[in-house]
Chains A and B, each alone.
Chain A
């Protein structure tokens, strides 16, 4: 046992260190994202936001954390106790599990020893694993809603179930383009493929994929404008109505972990990861290069996080049929056509930048839907006046 540990230590310690970093940083990040969200919300609404605890209110997150840990554990009488306790744990576990293959800093593709910014480097099914695990997070919500034994919670759970099922498809379709042209499911290799100029970033030659991916990912995180499973105005709190204290925090943390995951994925898959034009390629392994790469990646990720938070205060919530319509009538057909485009480019050996033409697809769809809408409104208006006319005649 001891000998085995001694032999495997050079492989073991970087993994343990990466797990430690994730376990330490994610809850802290979750706490501070609530602070950033409150602060940004305040600025958008011309307020100042939390500014009492510590300088600029920076310790507000810590105070919130202490307060919520010390809260009473309320267990309503009518819940299914086992599932009730299981659901938040499932929710957070699946959210954290997806981070196993996610590089949170530059990872050299030659996989030497030493600390690398990922728990399991070089996982050849990385992105597939991530998609699979993050789909599991629907279980936490559904079980939570079911265990609460309450009509609002179960409505929230049902909505989230439908939403997850619908938005998994465009999410998968959108990254197939990236995967097919890179030829690998390995996240590090996908990033490596974008290491050239800024034109090699995936966003520059398949913006449509980014649009679909980001929309679907936003729906997967249950964030506004897609937060129907927990919309306060309709469902009290949705699936977490009956949860308070530390169990609520686990749900909350899972949601913020999802946001972090989605932001990392957006930055890694579409915005070149830790690459930036003009900076040396950090995969050479120099310390300065690694630090620069880390800074670049974290900058991109924080930009995406800020954008996601900002979207919450810029957009109204979808109606549920609009939500379903967006997935099934908008994103999935566009994703399929995009996939056909990728297949054509790949099989005919055309330059991949031709794929930018797919960006015309939403415009065409918008044109089609505006024409259809105007035609139907014209029919409606004609019908309306016809009814009016006949009713006026009969009245006279």
Chain B
């Protein structure tokens, strides 16, 4: 081999010589068994013990949807169909209704969703509904362990989505990235639109 002129730019490699111990195999087997035993008796588990130890979910995780409430506890959604239009999986279905004008509770609102259903099985959790929403009414929470015993159970209606909101606010699993509680400009009536806009940042982390 040494008599062959080797080019400088080419890296020459040669197979390592096989020693007796290599050819005997037994030392290699012994070291393999030793490694296995070392790990077996170390008693350390590198896995997360899931139901006891829950993973830390980042706050921008896209999990189960919720419908936000405004400051007066009404559904914040103004039934503009933006999320339904944006949804690539066609899993949102809204039926809009005019807000009951006689009711003083609803007097500053024009429109509200009579029904609002999301098929959680169809949803691909892309978050485009959240991006499309002009009033920050729909949000994806960090709830990741959604299960159900039937398909019907996985179709969430308005009340269910609002209850997800209540739950996440209570449990501190709040996504906290929107102006929760404050009505956006799109949900204002002609009367309230003349008022000054809310100061920036108000209602954030509320």
Name B28-50 residues within 8 Å CB distance of A.
29, 32-33, 35-37, 39-47, 49
Cβ contacts under 8 Å, A363 to chain B: 20, 24
In the bound complex, do residue B18 and residue A45 qualify as a contact, i.e. CB atoms below 8 Å apart? no
Give A362 to B24 CA distance when docked, in angstroms. 7
Name A342-376 residues within 8 Å CB distance of B.
362-363, 365-367, 369-370, 373-374
Cβ contacts under 8 Å, B46 to chain A: 46-47
In the bound complex, do residue B29 and residue A377 qualify as a contact, i.e. CB atoms below 8 Å apart? no
Give A366 to B23 CA distance when docked, in angstroms. 5
In the bound complex, do residue B36 and residue A44 qualify as a contact, i.e. CB atoms below 8 Å apart? yes
Give A385 to B5 CA distance when docked, in angstroms. 9
Q: Whole-angstrom distance from the CB of A200 to the nearest CB of chain B?
A: 24
Cβ contacts under 8 Å, A367 to chain B: 20, 23
Q: Whole-angstrom distance from the CB of A217 to the nearest CB of chain B?
A: 16
Is B19 part of the binding interface, using a Cβ–Cβ cutoff of 8 Å?
Answer: yes
Name A363-396 residues within 8 Å CB distance of B.
363, 365-367, 369-370, 373-374, 377-378, 381-382, 385, 389
In the bound complex, do residue A313 and residue B20 qualify as a contact, i.e. CB atoms below 8 Å apart? no
Give A370 to B22 CA distance when docked, in angstroms. 8
Is A314 part of the binding interface, using a Cβ–Cβ cutoff of 8 Å?
Answer: yes
Give A366 to B25 CA distance when docked, in angstroms. 8
Is B4 part of the binding interface, using a Cβ–Cβ cutoff of 8 Å?
Answer: yes
In the bound complex, do residue B33 and residue A48 qualify as a contact, i.e. CB atoms below 8 Å apart? no
Name A38-75 residues within 8 Å CB distance of B.
40, 43-48
In the bound complex, do residue B42 and residue A314 qualify as a contact, i.e. CB atoms below 8 Å apart? no
Q: Whole-angstrom distance from the CB of B8 to the nearest CB of chain A?
A: 14
Given A310-B40, A363-B24, A381-B14, A46-B45 contact (CB < 8 Å): yes
Is B26 part of the binding interface, using a Cβ–Cβ cutoff of 8 Å?
Answer: yes
Given A46-B42, A314-B33, A389-B4 contact (CB < 8 Å): yes
Cβ contacts under 8 Å, A46 to chain B: 39, 42, 44-47
Is B196 part of the binding interface, using a Cβ–Cβ cutoff of 8 Å?
Answer: no
Is B1 part of the binding interface, using a Cβ–Cβ cutoff of 8 Å?
Answer: yes
Give A369 to B20 CA distance when docked, in angstroms. 8
Q: Whole-angstrom distance from the CB of B97 to the nearest CB of chain A?
A: 49
Give A389 to B32 CA distance when docked, in angstroms. 41
Cβ contacts under 8 Å, B19 to chain A: 370
A-B contact count (CB 8 A): 71
Is A315 part of the binding interface, using a Cβ–Cβ cutoff of 8 Å?
Answer: yes
In the bound complex, do residue B18 and residue A373 qualify as a contact, i.e. CB atoms below 8 Å apart? yes
Give A307 to B37 CA distance when docked, in angstroms. 10
Cβ contacts under 8 Å, B37 to chain A: 310
Question: Nearest CB to that of B38 among chain A residues?
Answer: A44
**Cβ 8 A contact of A310, one of B14, B25, B36:** B36
In the bound complex, do residue A374 and residue B47 qualify as a contact, i.e. CB atoms below 8 Å apart? no
Given A362-B24, A366-B24, A367-B23, A374-B18 contact (CB < 8 Å): yes
Cβ contacts under 8 Å, B25 to chain A: 366
Is B17 part of the binding interface, using a Cβ–Cβ cutoff of 8 Å?
Answer: yes
Is B15 part of the binding interface, using a Cβ–Cβ cutoff of 8 Å?
Answer: yes
In the bound complex, do residue A47 and residue B15 qualify as a contact, i.e. CB atoms below 8 Å apart? no
Question: Nearest CB to that of A392 among chain B residues?
Answer: B7
**Cβ 8 A contact of B26, one of A40, A362, A369, A378:** A362
Given A311-B33, A382-B1, A45-B39 contact (CB < 8 Å): yes
In the bound complex, do residue A314 and residue B40 qualify as a contact, i.e. CB atoms below 8 Å apart? no
In the bound complex, do residue A370 and residue B23 qualify as a contact, i.e. CB atoms below 8 Å apart? yes
**Cβ 8 A contact of B1, one of A48, A307, A362, A385:** A385
In the bound complex, do residue B49 and residue A314 qualify as a contact, i.e. CB atoms below 8 Å apart? no
In the bound complex, do residue A369 and residue B33 qualify as a contact, i.e. CB atoms below 8 Å apart? no
Cβ contacts under 8 Å, B36 to chain A: 44, 310, 313-314
**Cβ 8 A contact of B40, one of A44, A315, A373, A374:** A44
Cβ contacts under 8 Å, B43 to chain A: 43
In the bound complex, do residue B23 and residue A314 qualify as a contact, i.e. CB atoms below 8 Å apart? no
Given A311-B33, A385-B1, A48-B15 contact (CB < 8 Å): no
Q: Whole-angstrom distance from the CB of A207 to the nearest CB of chain B?
A: 11
In the bound complex, do residue B1 and residue A314 qualify as a contact, i.e. CB atoms below 8 Å apart? no
Question: Nearest CB to that of A312 among chain B residues?
Answer: B36
Residue numbers of B with Cβ under 8 A of A are 1, 4, 14-15, 17-26, 29, 32-33, 35-37, 39-47, 49
12 pairs across A/B with beta carbons < 8 Å? A48-B45, A310-B36, A314-B32, A315-B32, A363-B24, A366-B20, A367-B20, A370-B20, A370-B23, A378-B1, A381-B14, A389-B4
- List 12 additional contacts besides A44-B39, A314-B35, A366-B25; criterion CB under 8 Å: A43-B40, A47-B45, A47-B47, A307-B33, A313-B36, A369-B23, A370-B22, A373-B18, A377-B14, A378-B1, A381-B1, A382-B1
Q: List the 7 closest A-B pairs by CB distance, nearest first.
A: A366-B24, A314-B32, A366-B23, A370-B23, A314-B36, A43-B40, A385-B4
